[in-house]
Structure 1
Amino acid sequence: MKGGLFLKATSILSVCFATLAQSQSPLTPQTLADLKQVGKPVASPDNQQVVFPLSQFQSAQNQTYSNLQVHSLATNQPMNLTEWNNYTSSASPAWLDQQTVAFVHNANITDPQSGTGLYTVATQGGGENNQDSASPQPLTNVTAEFSNLKYNNATNQLFFLASTYPNKTLSESYELDQRQALAGSSAVAYDQLPGDATPEAGDQKHQAIFALPVSKNGDSFEATGEATNLFQSYTGAGFNAVDYAVSSDGVLVAFVAEAAGPNGTVTNMYAVPANGTETPFALTNNTEGQVTNPVFSEDGQKLAWLESSTPDYQAGRNQIVLCGLANNNKTEVASDWELSPTKLAFSGGSESLYAVAQDAGNQKLFLITPGGSNSTSGGGAGGSGSSSMSESSATETETPTAGGAGGEEGTPSSSEETSPTNSQESSDGEGGSPTAAGDIATPPPTGQDNDGLGLSNRRRNYRRGFSMEEERDWYIYAIRSLHPKAGEGEGEDGTPQELTQNGTVTDMASVGNNTVLVTMSSIAKPPELYAVRTPEGEITQVSQLNSEALQDVMLSEPEPFTFQGSNGQDIHGWVVRPSNFDDSTNYPVALLIHDGPRDAWTDQWNNIWNPNAFAGAGYGVIMINPTGSTGYSEQLVNGVQNQWAGAPYDDLMKGLEQVGQNYTWLDTSRTCALGAGYGGYLVNWINGHNSDFSCLVSHAGVFDPSSAYYTTDNPAAIAYDFGGPPFQNSSRDTYDQWNPARTVDQWKTPTLVTQGGNDTRINPAQSLSTFTALQSANVTSRYVLFPDEGHVIQKPGNVLRWHQEVFSWMNQYTSENGTSTEGGNGAAGGGGSGSGGEESSSSEASSTETDSSATESASSSA
């Protein structure tokens, strides 16, 4: 297949590399750790400024500081809004008005018991120098673990997430935690499986949504009352809010909450009045699936979210669900779209949706306008062929139409779907639990008949003077009257329009009608802010956070390649050339294997699995997206089921072999395979099926899928891929077939094992088992544990130590006179048969401990 679809280097490219090498140096782990990390952008109410958290590791103090930075969108002029030093951190900004930002402030990041507070800061007090930064002012005297701030100027309420105990205020919950810490007990009790969003929240502690009333007094804001717990009437346990959205008039809050299920956590969409007077009620009734990303339109007429189409698995393909509150219609948007969106936002004019989705090695921004000429109307108040993204066109003198799915104008598709009198009886649930999806609010809005019609007219009547209570009733009635099956099969199938082509979009914020701010990166460029104009897709860079730090650093651009995989499908991957590349030199190979299995290597900057860091260490880097990787056909994504190390392993070996044949400067006889999570599992599998690798690195790798099922925070994910839990007769053979532990007697390759001690996704016992197996089999091995890390190594000091360990290991066994105990003679991809999510990068690194937090066992020789 030489030549084929591969992109090959030219002599001109080689000359360019040689010229750059004279003035640039490779990317080192220290330079990588020292870069600034940009957080999620938030646009000001007048769309003239954007604020975002910015964090940076300070080597001298071994701490990561974070502040808030403001950029003018007109001039791109940056300004520090809060200071960098004094061991403080600033996060989760929310605009209160055009000159004031509320945020979460930690006054002492070195004290794990210090907690955080709510503060405000005026934008006019900032400056480019730290000394000119504004002085934050406390908004309340309450200490808690605040996050995800959102402000609604219609009701003057500041919303946030915080963990609390039942029947306890925030202050009481914080004091209880402090007393327990002082008592010397760190015990946490569970009556159900802990959720992966808040795994530490046992003893019925849960994360709730709060609403704090605030008002402006002169030039500053102050709290005018206590924060209201919107879950105060909920009496159950294990119910944790994960994400939420507030309607533009501040009347209703839609939120995603997770609860324990028999096979792990499941998430559903709920709604609750913002005044906290009612129990949350459910908008979805998943027993196994996942729901994410609620967003209200600016006009308050629409609510959208993402819902997984695959039961029991959080990485299933997401569908866009759109609720038209003016016509009681619930539809799927772009239902035939093969890609799986991961983020969602409305445009400023409420007419379109922005979506982010992986697509063949990139994570792109898309624009979707439902109900256009290329889509089918969901029927309802707008009439046949009109867009459900627009407010009903009925005038006040017209008879309001029913919101039936697919019906002709003024004609409901079925009386059972459009009339509340034919729906199930209203229920507020038993024992304070959230009510079921599709329940109808008991009292209709004041002065209206209980007929389920005319909601758009009621909405306009509110604009002429309905009270806030009547507006709240309207919302409750409208959202509870959503017909769960309305519009099914008749979705608003607007064709997604690609706005970005290359790189990876991670965050976005709508700015006005025709602009969206995004955080975007690539393998050769760390995250920066960009403004994307629609519909033309014109992109303008807004920030230059790391340009100076990287101006003398050589960063290799990724080169895409494609080959035919084990099942005959095209498999995509990337090659990254070593720094100071010389085409007359043969280079050792780093084969990076992504986590997942449903994840992918995209053209994205990564804070630990950074291909340019490996290139800077002198390695040619190969990253392959084998069967099971996301951003490709659904057939390819789900091809990993019941064969975790079947087609994926074969794809890796075939790809490695063919890349070596087409890139002759790669010396595949000196290859090290490295992976994390599922990638670490494949590394363990390689050890028992292919002895041609010089060395291996397994981070948080699964050793035994059966035992991993019982110790992960998401057992449903494993059960889904193996055909059920391991105790079922029907799936036992699958677990046994794809178990690396079965072939430990064949393990021969020197292996470095690394692990985070607080990992809830892959229990540390899996890596310890891997190391025990290696030592018992007399294989050269080393185990490095980071006790204070989770599944991903994030703290910069630990990231530096991880790179030190990994590069030392690789250099020892991939040098031209390396000491590999087996193989090393011929292409590493030439042996073995397999037939027998991306490591995420942290946008805001946590504070670090000293290097002594990494502990390791003594190495042994075979």
Structure 2
Amino acid sequence: MTARTQASAILSAWALALAAPLAAQGAPAMRAEDLITMPRLGTPSTNAEGTLVLVPITETDPKVYQRSTGYWLRQLDGPGSGMVRVTGLDGASDARFGSDGWVYFLADGARREGAEATSQIWRARLGPDGAARGRAQVSDFAVSVAGFALSPKADRIAVWADIARDCPTFGCPGRDGKAHLPGPGTGRHYRSEDGFIRHWDSWATPGTVSRVFAFALADGRVRGAGVAADGPVGTLTGDTPTKPFGGNEDVVWSADGKRLFFVARQADRNEPKSTNLDIWQSDLSGGAPVNLTAANTATDTLPAPSPDGQYLAYVAMTRPGYEADRQVVQLRDLKSGTVTALTAKWDRSAGSLAWTPDSRFLIATAQDVLDTPAFRIDPRSGTVERLDLVPGNEAHIANTVPLHGERLLFTRDSIAAPAELYLAKGNRPSQRLSDAAASRIAALAPVVTTRFRFAGADNATVWGQITKPANARGRLPAILYVHGGPQGSFNDAWSNRWNPRVLASQGYAVVSVDFHGSTGYGQAFVDSIQNDWGGKPLEDLKKGFAAALAQDKQIDGSRACAMGASYGGYMMNWIQSEWADRFKCLVNHNGVFDMRAMAYETEEQWFIQWEHGGKAYHEDPAAYERWNPATRIAKWQTPMLVVLGERDFRIPYPQGIGAFTALQLKAVPAELLVFPDENHWVLKAKNSLQWHNTVFDWLARWLK
């Protein structure tokens, strides 16, 4: 067994030199209120010259828990320059630089008579003092704009919104989202050929999808009628950006601004079983778009055209119906159409792609043994080089923006601290540019995170982490943290929801284990959970928890609870019968309780079917029942807190009701927390505070 220890307040000598003053002895422990009101740094945007960066920071009022987003500006080429708060962008969202030097953003447009305000595109110029000048409305559509993408020359703009597929213009208010509402009552009417009837947290609107239209942009105004990227009715019907999680990365312009590349999946009766996202190309003539990845019936996504116009990079999976397959970087020659699998021999899954300005390299991020580093890929050879942006402490690198002069802008976060903005120059150590939350974190009592590894199921190497208060005295109760996915990881990254630091700060040792099925350890390790939900993962958790106790004698294994969400919540239900005497209490957040009901209630059928061998429940019920907690209730005995969201359509809330009812019937101490306005996650500030307070009280009841 080996270990690597890292203090949250002192990450390295490099970080120490840049960080705010360390917290004095006796600094307050982090509270739920601190987590919820901690400023959140968003996605940065740079101007064309790479001399300015604009970054959003979301803040939460600690009195009323209302969130608002402001923008900050910083020079990248000036010595000693600092962040300047932008003024004059009130109500703005999704602000970013255009190549013309203007900042474009979304905000409420001028109200039309008798109508509600709609979200429209605006622009403004930013002075060196951060003041926005010349603010003006760019678009005036009849419907709200959900997002936009500027062409490289800022002479065209792509916009998208939920629009009826047979609508020829950007928005038909009388038809958009109405086909499934025939009246005269309030009933939604669906047909089997419609495919999804609900997705993630929203009911579907057959006949209406998120559609992209391209317009000319001149003199600060949208011009002309616009061209639909999806072409005439009958060619492509599908959401762009993809739902529920697609964003700006799904819509990109070619280097010359004459073509649009976008991601979409056909919306039909097969969509709930299909992971076949494709990359489409529109020449914006009004004709049908071309499916560039039609030969691959698995996922193709993250289109990234090279600045020189020669290539289109993207990532592709190979197995249809499998959402956690390895994402291999592909390179398409836009002249010949030849496609090369660049990273076929690299056993990691690329999660983002960005070209360097000279088109010489691709910068990708990928999970790799508890970290998410950046990698440089040579498009000529496919050689992959891991970048050491934060020497010895990469943690979670994201939002990479390659700049001229061998510079790389990026964000970094960790278990220790939320995201901050950094700039790397060549081989020199990175420089932290922001202080969104660093000073606030430094004023709190630190935690320490230790990595460990052990021989898990099938004698495979399995990794885990222990997070605890840095200066704690005496023995600490233990919390076993079980991640969801199940193809995921409790890696070294900040979370606004399941946060090891805030939990450890309540006086616990938080133990997480990246069991079989976790990401960042090669595709075979990811695949190993298929048809084995309650097998190797539970064995890893048992062995990992024992390894943590052996590693750190301060952990009191006799006082332990376990908690998890989604698949982690399923594991709480499974532990009830298969590890029944180990824990004082459990916390099950939106976990699977009954496999048969789950198989027919969840919306993304590809997921539940792949996890159980690729067949529907009625085709192979034994595959589902083998790992079904609902069949083993007779052994349930551990007190459990059940949390659910009524808008959760991934693991619908009756699953949680079933678990709670089973506990009631067994006379096992239990509590139920229901959020009527949350989905699979708890996102609202006040709800998050209630979640943390309830969980903390439940843990303390059994452990303190």
- TM-score, shorter chain, exceeding 0.5: yes
Shift of 1:368: 0.7
Matched, 1:525 2:532: no
- Equivalent positions of 1:158-177 (< 5 A) are 158-168=157-167, 169-173=169-173
- Equivalent positions of 1:459-858 (< 5 A) are 493-500=382-389, 502-512=394-404, 514-534=406-426, 536=427, 538-578=429-469, 580-582=471-473, 585-690=474-579, 691-729=581-619, 731-815=620-704
Could you tell me which amino acid in structure 2 is paired with residue 173 of structure 1?
A: P
Could you tell me which amino acid in structure 1 is paired with residue 410 of structure 2?
A: V
Q: State the alpha-carbon separation in 1 of the partners of residues 198 and 330 from structure 2.
A: 24
Out of 36, 39, 55, the residue aligned to residue 36 of structure 1 is 39
Whether the aligned pair in 1 keeps the contact of 2:217 and 2:223 (CA below 8 Å) is yes
Specify whether residues 162 and 698 from structure 1 end up closer, same or farther in structure 2 by C-alpha distance, changes over 3 A only.
Answer: same
2:17 corresponds in structure 1 to none
1:329 corresponds in structure 2 to 338
Could you tell me which amino acid in structure 2 is paired with residue 707 of structure 1?
A: A
Q: State the alpha-carbon separation in 1 of the partners of residues 200 and 161 from structure 2.
A: 13
Q: State the alpha-carbon separation in 1 of the partners of residues 419 and 470 from structure 2.
A: 21
Q: How many pairs were matched up?
A: 667
Q: State the alpha-carbon separation in 1 of the partners of residues 388 and 553 from structure 2.
A: 36
Q: Comparing 697-706 with 496-505, which one deviates more in the overlay?
A: 496-505
Point out the structure with max Rg over C-alpha: 1
Q: State the alpha-carbon separation in 2 of the partners of residues 504 and 679 from structure 1.
A: 22
Q: State the alpha-carbon separation in 2 of the partners of residues 9 and 300 from structure 1.
A: 44
2:97 corresponds in structure 1 to 95
Shift of 1:232: 4.1
Specify whether residues 793 and 165 from structure 1 end up closer, same or farther in structure 2 by C-alpha distance, changes over 3 A only.
Answer: same
1:5 corresponds in structure 2 to 2
Q: State the alpha-carbon separation in 1 of the partners of residues 203 and 54 from structure 2.
A: 31
Q: Residue deviations 1:827-851, cap 9 Å, x none?
A: xxxxxxxxxxxxxxxxxxxxxxxxx
1:404 corresponds in structure 2 to none
Q: State the alpha-carbon separation in 2 of the partners of residues 551 and 183 from structure 1.
A: 59
Shift of 1:155: 6.5
Q: Residue deviations 1:365-415, cap 9 Å, x none?
A: 0001132xxx3xxxxxxxxxxxxxxxxxxxxxxxxxxxxxxxxxxxxxxxx
Out of 77, 82, 85, the residue aligned to residue 77 of structure 1 is 82
Q: State the alpha-carbon separation in 2 of the partners of residues 98 and 289 from structure 1.
A: 38
Specify whether residues 263 and 706 from structure 1 end up closer, same or farther in structure 2 by C-alpha distance, changes over 3 A only.
Answer: farther
Shift of 1:268: 3.0
Q: Residue deviations 1:764-812, cap 9 Å, x none?
A: 1211211122112221111111122121211111111110110010000
Q: State the alpha-carbon separation in 2 of the partners of residues 312 and 349 from structure 1.
A: 37
Could you tell me which amino acid in structure 2 is paired with residue 291 of structure 1?
A: D
Shift of 1:642: 1.2
2:14 corresponds in structure 1 to none
Q: State the alpha-carbon separation in 2 of the partners of residues 626 and 176 from structure 1.
A: 45
Shift of 1:543: 1.4
User: Which SS does the other structure have where 2:502 is aligned?
Assistant: helix
Shift of 1:321: 0.8
Shift of 1:156: 0.3
2:16 corresponds in structure 1 to none
Shift of 1:322: 0.4
Could you tell me which amino acid in structure 2 is paired with residue 595 of structure 1?
A: G
User: Which SS does the other structure have where 1:508 is aligned?
Assistant: strand
Q: State the alpha-carbon separation in 1 of the partners of residues 199 and 360 from structure 2.
A: 35
Specify whether residues 186 and 177 from structure 1 end up closer, same or farther in structure 2 by C-alpha distance, changes over 3 A only.
Answer: farther
Q: Residue deviations 1:633-664, cap 9 Å, x none?
A: 32222111111010000100111112112211
Specify whether residues 578 and 497 from structure 1 end up closer, same or farther in structure 2 by C-alpha distance, changes over 3 A only.
Answer: closer
Shift of 1:733: 1.7
Out of 276, 297, 311, the residue aligned to residue 320 of structure 2 is 311
Q: Comparing 610-619 with 500-509, which one deviates more in the overlay?
A: 500-509
User: Which SS does the other structure have where 2:658 is aligned?
Assistant: helix
Specify whether residues 262 and 235 from structure 1 end up closer, same or farther in structure 2 by C-alpha distance, changes over 3 A only.
Answer: closer
Specify whether residues 275 and 370 from structure 1 end up closer, same or farther in structure 2 by C-alpha distance, changes over 3 A only.
Answer: closer
Q: State the alpha-carbon separation in 1 of the partners of residues 224 and 396 from structure 2.
A: 42
2:67 corresponds in structure 1 to 64
2:188 corresponds in structure 1 to 187
Shift of 1:248: 1.3
Q: State the alpha-carbon separation in 1 of the partners of residues 682 and 674 from structure 2.
A: 10
Matched, 1:297 2:306: yes
Whether the aligned pair in 1 keeps the contact of 2:122 and 2:136 (CA below 8 Å) is yes
Q: State the alpha-carbon separation in 2 of the partners of residues 349 and 195 from structure 1.
A: 44
TM-score when scaled to structure 2? Answer: 0.89
Q: State the alpha-carbon separation in 2 of the partners of residues 496 and 631 from structure 1.
A: 16
Could you tell me which amino acid in structure 1 is paired with residue 505 of structure 2?
A: G
Specify whether residues 648 and 737 from structure 1 end up closer, same or farther in structure 2 by C-alpha distance, changes over 3 A only.
Answer: same
Out of 360, 363, 374, the residue aligned to residue 372 of structure 2 is 363
Whether the aligned pair in 2 keeps the contact of 1:499 and 1:537 (CA below 8 Å) is no
Specify whether residues 805 and 244 from structure 1 end up closer, same or farther in structure 2 by C-alpha distance, changes over 3 A only.
Answer: same
Q: State the alpha-carbon separation in 1 of the partners of residues 28 and 232 from structure 2.
A: 60
Whether the aligned pair in 2 keeps the contact of 1:591 and 1:622 (CA below 8 Å) is yes
Whether the aligned pair in 2 keeps the contact of 1:367 and 1:499 (CA below 8 Å) is no
Q: Comparing 21-30 with 617-626, which one deviates more in the overlay?
A: 21-30
Q: State the alpha-carbon separation in 2 of the partners of residues 156 and 182 from structure 1.
A: 43
2:263 corresponds in structure 1 to 256
Could you tell me which amino acid in structure 2 is paired with residue 22 of structure 1?
A: Q
Whether the aligned pair in 2 keeps the contact of 1:145 and 1:162 (CA below 8 Å) is yes
User: Which SS does the other structure have where 2:373 is aligned?
Assistant: strand
Specify whether residues 347 and 174 from structure 1 end up closer, same or farther in structure 2 by C-alpha distance, changes over 3 A only.
Answer: farther
Shift of 1:666: 0.6
Q: Comparing 295-304 with 323-332, which one deviates more in the overlay?
A: 323-332
Specify whether residues 288 and 247 from structure 1 end up closer, same or farther in structure 2 by C-alpha distance, changes over 3 A only.
Answer: closer
Could you tell me which amino acid in structure 1 is paired with residue 83 of structure 2?
A: P
Q: Which runs of 5+ in 2 are unaligned?
A: 11-21, 242-249
Q: State the alpha-carbon separation in 1 of the partners of residues 226 and 63 from structure 2.
A: 39
Specify whether residues 21 and 551 from structure 1 end up closer, same or farther in structure 2 by C-alpha distance, changes over 3 A only.
Answer: closer
2:19 corresponds in structure 1 to none
Shift of 1:334: 2.0
Q: Residue deviations 1:414-443, cap 9 Å, x none?
A: xxxxxxxxxxxxxxxxxxxxxxxxxxxxxx
Could you tell me which amino acid in structure 2 is paired with residue 170 of structure 1?
A: F
Could you tell me which amino acid in structure 1 is paired with residue 416 of structure 2?
A: A
Q: Residue deviations 1:731-777, cap 9 Å, x none?
A: 32221111111111111111111112212221112112111221122
Specify whether residues 750 and 266 from structure 1 end up closer, same or farther in structure 2 by C-alpha distance, changes over 3 A only.
Answer: same
Whether the aligned pair in 2 keeps the contact of 1:151 and 1:158 (CA below 8 Å) is yes
Aligned-residue CA RMSD in angstroms?
A: 2.8
